[in-house]
Amino acid sequence: MHGSHPSPPRLSTVEMLARLIGFDTTSRHSNLALIDFIRGWLDAHAVPYRVSHDATGGKANLHAVIGPVGPGGIALSGHVDTVPVDGQAWSSDPFVLRRQDGKLYARGACDMKGFVAACLSAVPDLQARKLVRPVHLFITCDEEVGCFGAQRLIEDLAQSGLKPALCVVGEPSMMKPILAHKGKLDLRVRVRGRPGHSSEPDKGVNAVFAAAEAITHIAAEARRIAREGPFEDGFDPPHTTVHVGTVSGGTILNIIPEHAEFVMEWRAIPGDDVRARLAALRAHVAATIEPAMHAVDPGTGFSYEVLVDMPGMALPADHELATLVKHLTGSNSAGKVSYGTEGGYYQEAGIPTIICGPGDIAQAHKPDEFVTVAQLDACEAFIRRLVDRLAT
């Protein structure tokens, strides 16, 4: 852990957000300049922290501990990578915070540098208090491309022994508690055929045809799940979904295509086993599509690459964290969402987790993304009330 003691500065949440926005932390870029800025802020307030890097060394997570340095307490977690702005029509520079009519426009303002800014702005006040239980700040990279930063941070928790007892992930939820989200498995399917002239189709193996047969089966499965379930109330839609997003293959029309590929996903309600669904897809292909391919050329067939395997999240409605966050936000109910977050990984690591953060998820990833000042104000108040209840 690191720390030093210059005279502590202060920044409002909006001022802090403007600083964070100024770093282009699109997932394809390094985030080290932003992490260095945060380290300087924490050093100025004598807050100790750990840094964990990705395999390239070009990106990092940060785990800070305010109060007694040890396990327990609560974590406030946010990612600082963003999706690209390429091809989007922005009304102003997406990396300069623009304030207009109570809204703050910039890439990442909503998803989710607004929450991170509120946490960092609160550091001086939290550090000045005599906390009896720690408040952990998790700041992660690579959420938008597979939650790889959170997975690396969890590895570091195992090394440090500084695992919090509870966690709030500040993804945009309009400051309403979210108890559950779907899991997600992304899969690349490659098909290897046998080339030949299109006038002699029986002498080759058409990889595009084989891929199309598999996709037809996947589409039928999607319709069957929508019709038969299993179902879970609160999700929209209330069942696991299956989707093929890209497909490619072949070279020119008069050559039997040797290669084809498609990328697909399952978004699964908690409790639905997507690994079993993947196994069922492989079994179907092996039984109904590959035998005819192998009869022509045993070297043909399908291969599968899991790109993302994101666990779902489900906090029991009667859990102390659910009750507390509902009380602190004034919400009578708690929701469920179909998008994924880092929360599933924290829960899988044994940290009960809830989602609650400023802004509307409908703004995420869009041009002219914004968060309202009122939402940031509500987030600031929530953080202080949460610390009042859990750490003092």
| Greatest CA separation for the chain | 81
Read off the pLDDT of residues 224-237 as tens digits, 9 standing for 90 and up.
999 999 999 999 99
- What is the rounded average pLDDT for all residues in the chain? 95
Q: What is the pLDDT of residue 372?
A: 98
Q: How far apart are CA 272 and CA 180, in angstroms?
A: 13
Q: What is the pLDDT of residue 338?
A: 85
Is the model's pLDDT at 5 over the cut of 90?
no
Is the model's pLDDT at 318 over the cut of 90?
yes
Does a structural domain hold residue 231? yes
Average pLDDT over residues 142-147: 92
Does a structural domain hold residue 81? yes
Does a structural domain hold residue 62? yes
Pair 375, 175: CB distance under 8 Å: yes
Same domain for 283 and 217: yes
- Sheet strand arrangement including 103-105: 98-100, 103-105, 370-372
Does a structural domain hold residue 347? yes
**Residue 48: Cβ-neighbour burial (10 angstroms; 0-12, 13-18, 19+):** middle
CATH number for the domain spanning 237: value is 3.30.70.360
Is the model's pLDDT at 387 over the cut of 90?
no
Same domain for 188 and 173: no
> DSSP string spanning 266-285?
EEE-TT--HHHHHHHHHHHH
- Residue 389's nearest CA partner among 308, 316, 328 is 328
Q: Which residues pair with residue 149 across a beta bridge?
A: none
Angle among Cα 112, 117, 122 to the nearest 5 degrees reads 140
Is the model's pLDDT at 199 over the cut of 70?
yes
Same domain for 279 and 296: yes
| pLDDT band at residue 85 using 50, 70 and 90 as cut-offs | very high
- Tokens 């938008």, located at residue: 144
Read off the pLDDT of residues 115-136 as tens digits, 9 standing for 90 and up.
999 999 999 999 988 899 999 9
Q: What is the pLDDT of residue 2?
A: 58
Does a structural domain hold residue 2? no
Same domain for 285 and 211: yes
Same domain for 276 and 204: yes
Record the tokens describing residue 121, joined without a space.
Answer: 């702005």
Does a structural domain hold residue 8? no
Q: What is the pLDDT of residue 1?
A: 60
Q: What is the pLDDT of residue 240?
A: 97
Torsion angles phi and psi, residue 373, rounded to 5: -60, -35
Same domain for 296 and 373: no
Read off the pLDDT of residues 30-55 as tens digits, 9 standing for 90 and up.
999 999 999 999 999 999 999 999 99
How do beta strands 241-249 and 166-169 pair?
Answer: unpaired
**Owning domain of residue 328:** 13-180+313-390
Q: How far apart are CA 294 and CA 317, in angstroms?
A: 51
Q: How far apart are CA 321 and CA 179, in angstroms?
A: 10
Amino acid identity of 267?
Answer: R
> What are the b/e assignments for 239-259, b being 16+ CB within 10 Å?
bbbbebeeeebbeeeeebbbb
Does a structural domain hold residue 373? yes
- Percent of all residues in the chain with a pLDDT value above 70, rounded to a whole number: 98
Read off the pLDDT of residues 146-162 as tens digits, 9 standing for 90 and up.
899 999 999 999 999 99
Average pLDDT over residues 71-78: 96
H-type alpha helices, 190-242? 207-228
Q: What is the pLDDT of residue 323?
A: 94
Same domain for 149 and 223: no
Is the model's pLDDT at 7 over the cut of 80?
no
Domain boundary among 310, 337, 370: 310
- Percent of all residues in the chain with a pLDDT value above 90, rounded to a whole number: 92
Q: How far apart are CA 84 and CA 364, in angstroms?
A: 11
Same domain for 321 and 240: no
Average pLDDT over residues 288-312: 96
The count of domains in the chain is 2
H-type alpha helices, the chain? 13-21, 32-44, 114-121, 123-128, 148-160, 207-228, 274-288, 290-296, 320-329, 343-348, 373-390
| pLDDT band at residue 392 using 50, 70 and 90 as cut-offs | low
Same domain for 20 and 95: yes
Record the tokens describing residue 201, joined without a space.
Answer: 């189709």
Judged by DSSP in three states, 384 sits in helix
Does a structural domain hold residue 326? yes
Is the model's pLDDT at 193 over the cut of 90?
yes
Same domain for 161 and 199: no
Domain boundary among 310, 342, 365: 310
CATH number for the domain spanning 19: value is 3.40.630.10
Q: Which residues are catalytic?
A: 81, 143
Read off the pLDDT of residues 249-278 as tens digits, 9 standing for 90 and up.
999 999 999 999 999 999 999 889 999 999
Same domain for 338 and 300: no
| pLDDT band at residue 243 using 50, 70 and 90 as cut-offs | very high
Same domain for 205 and 145: no
Domain boundary among 310, 336, 355: 310
Average pLDDT over residues 316-322: 95
CA contacts within 13 A on the Cβ side of 48? 10
- Residue 59's nearest CA partner among 1, 168, 146, 134 is 146
Number of residues that this document lists for the chain: 392
